[in-house]
Amino acid sequence: MEAALRPVYRRLHTIWLRSSIRSKREIASVAAAQHRLQDIYHEPPGKSLPVSLPPPQPSTVPPTQRLKDAKPFSHFLTDNFHRQHTYLRISVTERCNLRCTYCMPAAGVPLSPPAHLLTTPEIVYLSELFVGQGVRKIRLTGGEPTVRKDILPLMHEIGQLRSKGLKELCLTTNGISLHRKLDAMVDAGLTGVNLSLDTLDPYQFQIMTRRKGFDTVIKSLERILEMNRLGAGIRLKLNVVVMRGVNEHEIVPFVELGKDEAIEIRFIEYMPFDGNKWSQQKMLSYKEMVAIIREKHSGLCRQQDEGRSETSKTWQVPGFRGKIGFITSMTENFCGTCNRLRITADGNLKVCLFGNSEVSLRDLLRRENNGEPIDWAALEALTQVEMDRQQGVSGSTGPLGYGQRERDLLEVIGMAVKRKKERHAGMGQLENMKNRPMILIGG
């Protein structure tokens, strides 16, 4: 195992050396990258790039006035248990260039006809609708989102929603082709990457994914680390699905990747979805993972989780730059603070990853377009409705001043959110429930 890991560590170490050694060629390379990032951040030449956003300036508005002016959170995105849904995950494709055993059945999955999938204008329209209701974080998933042909224009359009309240634009990816598109994605507004990598062994990678590609995933990982050293500020997490008898022996090597790198390694309990042959015997629990790490790093300690709605339980080895997270969906669910909604590639809203009830936003969105996919010309017409609403033109009246299409969508979204259960089913039930394969949900 140690021999198999050497190429990985050597590559990571090489990146570190590049940032430390100041040869003329390296300085020129770093300078060129700095200029590229200065263009992204719109900084004048010669000005150093911030590693993080500058601290917010204190408000001059008195606290009592801020409370008086504050808008109540959207009741459409608030469920019956007072959970406010500020995080939207959108699957942008059903296709993937890997065939991971826990995600896709061995026989594959039937793909939806292209006309059944959301178009880029439809995704942008729905994104804007949700951001207008209080969504502050959007994550693009798949399938594998980087295989979508127009992923870059799509991200650019969603990135424009920062002016309307969007705070984070993230991506979950297997990393196969990420390195070729990462620079442009950062330019479009990308703030975070969850990189799926379940093994550090190239041969085991091929077994688990049924495909080659380990080297290109590592190349994408290296590129993110390199850009972050230049100030890109991409929040990086490695997602590792742990399965007993398959890759639990790699837990400690993954943890040690965070010794010198600011990476969060997130270990995910193996979850049941259609066709992935889940069994409780294969599932390694969160507590078992912690015990494995403590055998090597006895000082492992629990850290304060980042936010009330954080799904990951955070730990850290003293002296390590990186952190460790555990996604404990099977043994210790986090339903009570869930703030996530999902839109599938074919336009269905799922209020729970493990729920099998869905409602079509696509069909409602296309109703006045004769059920046909909405292109940019049709979206222009939708935009005109919004402009008419803002200008008080006849036909724009109704609750909240929205047009009929928006009102209908919000009512359907609100009803779906209100039906969200207090918690999902547990082991002994989940594996027997009908649900999509993970690849058709989007994670």
Question: Quick one: how far is CA 25 from the chain centroid?
Answer: 36
416 near 364, Cβ under 8 Å? no
Q: pLDDT tens digits for the chain (443 residues)?
A: 555 555 555 555 444 444 443 333 433 443 444 444 444 444 444 444 444 444 545 556 666 555 555 568 999 999 999 999 999 999 999 998 888 777 777 677 789 999 999 999 999 999 999 999 999 999 999 889 999 999 999 999 999 999 999 999 999 999 999 999 999 999 999 999 999 999 999 999 999 998 999 999 999 999 999 999 999 999 999 999 999 999 999 999 999 999 999 999 999 998 776 655 657 788 899 999 999 999 999 999 999 877 665 678 999 999 999 999 999 888 887 688 899 999 999 999 999 876 678 899 999 999 888 899 999 998 788 677 667 766 765 454 444 446 778 889 999 999 999 999 887 544 444 455 554 455 555 55
Q: Of 204, 196, 278, 287, nearest to 246 (Cα)? A: 204
Determine the Cα–Cα distance for residues 297 and 290; give it in Å rounded to an integer.
10
- Which pLDDT belongs to residue 249? 97
Beta strands in 372-412 (DSSP E): none
Determine the Cα–Cα distance for residues 217 and 335; give it in Å rounded to an integer.
32
State the angle between helix axes of 24-41 and 214-229 in degrees (0 to 180), rounded to the nearest 10: 80
Question: Quick one: how far is CA 355 from the chain centroid?
Answer: 19
Determine the Cα–Cα distance for residues 155 and 68; give it in Å rounded to an integer.
35
The alpha helices in 106-213, defined as continuous H runs, are 120-132, 151-159, 178-188, 202-209
| Full DSSP string of 190-241 | --EEEEE---S-HHHHHHHHSS--HHHHHHHHHHHHHHHHTT---EEEEEEE
272 near 430, Cβ under 8 Å? yes
362, containing H or E segment: helix 361-365
Give SS3 for 353. coil
- Which pLDDT belongs to residue 109? 76
CB atoms near residue 81 (< 10 Å):
13
404, containing H or E segment: helix 404-418
Determine the Cα–Cα distance for residues 402 and 236; give it in Å rounded to an integer.
38
Q: Of 199, 209, 330, 220, nearest to 265 (Cα)? A: 199
Q: Of 178, 180, 181, nearest to 197 (Cα)? A: 178
| Per-residue pLDDT reduced to its tens digit, 390-427 | 676 545 444 444 677 888 999 999 999 999 988 754 44
Q: Kindly tell me the number of DSSP H helices and DSSP E strands found in the chain.
A: 13, 12
- Which pLDDT belongs to residue 278? 57
268, containing H or E segment: strand 264-269
197 near 217, Cβ under 8 Å? yes
Q: 76 φ, ψ to 5°?
A: -70, -30
- Which pLDDT belongs to residue 52? 42
Query: Which residue type, as a one-letter code, is found at position 211?
Result: R
| Per-residue pLDDT reduced to its tens digit, 116-168 | 999 999 999 999 999 999 999 999 998 899 999 999 999 999 999 999 999 99
Determine the Cα–Cα distance for residues 411 and 399; give it in Å rounded to an integer.
11
- Which pLDDT belongs to residue 357? 80
> Which two tokens mark 422?
């207090």
- Which pLDDT belongs to residue 387? 72
DSSP conformational letter for 343: E
Q: 219 φ, ψ to 5°?
A: -60, -40
